[in-house]
Structure 1
Amino acid sequence: MADDAQQGQKRTPRWPFVVAALVVVGFIAVVLAIIFVPTSHVWTDDAYVTAHYTVVAPRVSGQVFSVDVDDNQPVHAGQVLATLDDRDYRTALASAQATLARDRAMALDAQAAVTRQPSLISEQQADAEQIEARLAFARQNARRYTNLAQSGAGTTQEHQQSDAEQRQLEADLAGARARITAAQDQLPILRAQHESALETIHLDEARVHQAELDLSYTKIRALIDGMVGEKSVQVGNYVSPGAALMALVPLNQIWIMANYRELALRHMQPGQHVRIHVDAYDVTLDGIVDSVPPGSGAAFEPIAPENATGNFTKIVQRLPVKIVLAPNQPLARLLRLGMSVETTVDTGLADVAAHQNTAPGTVTAK
């Protein structure tokens, strides 16, 4: 009986162990092939939908009077998103316009003074010429009465009156000439005042224009077509310039940011075809490699990693590759920012091999 049991154990089949060993060896071979054997398809699941979205912020401060959009609402460029209380800005505009009207009237007065001044100068010159004529006659009378007084034919009173009249006319002529000089000197001053009034008008016009702009800024409008997201503004809020009210996401301008390991970029070039699998909808879209970045994410961090140390551990870096969607894909409208996707780039290894440098591990920049 013992011999029969031993013979039974010896006859136990060994094929399960052989199959298990083959499976393990095959698995190891597949893993090594994936790691070391070059392939034309490069895959990653570290990829997300992204876009350059716009943060909507007011340009003036004020209390929110109305909010005209809801969350996730599509909007068009120029559409009013929210309105601020504009009463203060209307008052400021009216004040600026009143100041402009006053200064324009003052400028007209200054212009009239400049226009009138040459006439005043001419009038004063005419008065001076009239005085000169009278003075010439008075001097002749004075000489005549002096001669008569010396000959005894005239009276002393007449002689004194002629002398007094001559001196009076001489004084009047000096005054007239002084007024002419003052009027001539006043002309450039009046012109300068007119120029100053015109500059004041320009300043007032700029203030009116700024007041009009400030009033228009109370209506917060969309700058681009997109969908409203992250809306935080409510009626009654007091907002300041630059405060984020909501975001506008241009869904027609989204792309994929795929973070590939640096080893996967060896044969990757712009223009290569990409298969994009969207996890949320379990659909596959077509894309195109747009560009490969100039550096990894760690290279642009505010505090760059310091590797010049005694204990160094090499870490494979990832670089964000920009992938754009191919046109004429209706399902692309389903994509939203932040969605996870899987991307597979067809590097066309046989096509790009001729572009590689002969030095091992280098890639020709395109």
Structure 2
Amino acid sequence: MKPVSFIPRFLVTLVAVAIACFIGWQLWVYYMDSPWTRDGRVRADVVSLAPDVTGPVVKVFVQDNQSVQEGEPLFQVDPSRFNLALAQAKAALAQAKAAESKAHATMLNAEQNAARYAALSNSATSAISRDDASTQSLEAKAAYEASQAATAAAQADLGVAELNLTRSTVRSTVNGVVTNFSMKPGDYVSRGTPVMAIVDTDSLYVDGYFEETKLRHIQVGDKAKVQLLQGGKPILGHVQGFAAGIADHERIAAPTLLADVNPTFTWVRLAARIPVRIAIDHVPTGTHLVAGMTATVEIEPNHKDKQK
């Protein structure tokens, strides 16, 4: 029998080990260093809309999950008392203007009298008359100025009445979608109390929660690819910014106002996750984004970062 050569088998084993090491190294880099995360979430600004006036709702123009445009009417508070307030304000303004006109005429008459007495000869009687005429002129001028102030106040009250009437119809302040809405005519709303939420569809973005060990590979402006859990074509975007801080659950204020640090330490230390905001540049046709969706976020580092 010919002697069995171990060289081919050794080479095959060596190549297999090298391939396994290479694959293991690539997996290590991919999972430990590559800037990607499965912990991504679609976010959007939510407007908590509150009426600026108080009263019962008489009309509701939208329904739950309806898309609305900025300025579109949503519901109307009973405008009856605001119409009455507007009529009262108009009447008060007319009255104030009439009083102002009368005061103006009185002031002009008093000024004319004062001017006539000032032209008389300097006798004792004329001096007293001049003083009285001058005093009346000053009093008439003060009354006229007070009437002007009253007219300005009435004009302001009219503006408030007009504003309240306008605000009785509540309109959308953003382009978005009405959500979790169940208002009906007859519901009573109070000024400043939120009654509905609108998801601002113009503000949609993605938050990727990256491990802190991967942040050195991410820069503002880097391209990003977002793959929703529902599948479909990826959403394209770019890195807009990083969170400035995250909560430290180990720093709990004690009665001494010092940090109460837990003395125990687990054997496995997990990297903290830092929110990275991804601005959306392109959404594939047919993709329906909903705030709260989960996604995988992958960052494509720029050329300079790759060289580092």
TM-score, length basis structure 2: 0.80
- Give the whole-Å Cα distance in 2 for the aligned partners of 1:54 and 1:37: 39
Which one-letter code corresponds to 1:50 in the other structure? R
**Corresponding position of 2:290:** 336
> Which one has the bigger helix percentage?
1
Q: How does 1:128-207 map to 2 (within 5 A)?
A: 174=125, 177-207=127-157
State the 1:242 CA deviation.
2.1
Residue aligned with 2:208, SS: strand
Structure 1 pair 183–276 and aligned structure 2 pair: CA distance change class (3 A) = same
- For 2:188, the equivalent position in structure 1 comes to 238
Aligned to 2:222: 272
**2:55 is equivalent to residue 62 of structure 1:** yes
Match of 1:166 in 2: none
TM-score by length of 1: 0.69
Between the aligned residues of both structures, percent identity stands at 26
The counterpart of 1:110, out of the listed 103, 108, 118, is: 103
Please give the alpha-carbon distance, in whole angstroms, between the structure 2 residues aligned to 1:98 and 1:122: 36
Structure 1 residue 215 corresponds to structure 2 residue 165: yes
CA deviations over 1:113-159 (Å, ceiling 9, x no partner)? 11111333466679x76xx8xxxxxxxxxxxxxxxxxxxxxxxxxxx
Residue 112 (structure 1) shift? 0.5
SS of the residue aligned with 2:217?
coil
| 1:302 Cα offset (Å) | 10
Shift of 1:301: 11
> Residue type of the partner of 2:162?
E
Q: Which moved more, 1:69-78 or 1:179-188?
A: 179-188
Which residue of structure 1 aligns with residue 7 of structure 2?
A: none
SS of residue in 1 equivalent to 2:297: strand
Give distance in 1, aligned partners of 2:89 and 2:163.
12
Gaps of 5+ in 1: 1-21, 133-172, 356-366
Question: Contact (CA 8 Å) 1:274, 1:345: kept in 2 or not?
Answer: yes
Secondary structure of 1:330's aligned partner: coil
Query: Which of the pair has more CA radius of gyration?
Result: 1
Q: Which structure is higher in strand share? A: 2
What are structure 2's unaligned runs of at least 5 residues? 1-15
SS in 2 for 1:326: strand
Give the AA of the match of 1:73.
Answer: Q
Change (3 A) 1:76 1:44: same
Of 247, 271, 292, 1:316 maps to 271
Q: Does 1:345 align with 2:295?
A: no
- Count of residue pairs brought into register by the alignment: 286
Per-residue Cα deviation, 1:27-67 (whole angstroms, up to 9, x for no partner)? x9966753467877432221111111222210111111111
User: Is 1:92 matched with 2:85?
Assistant: yes
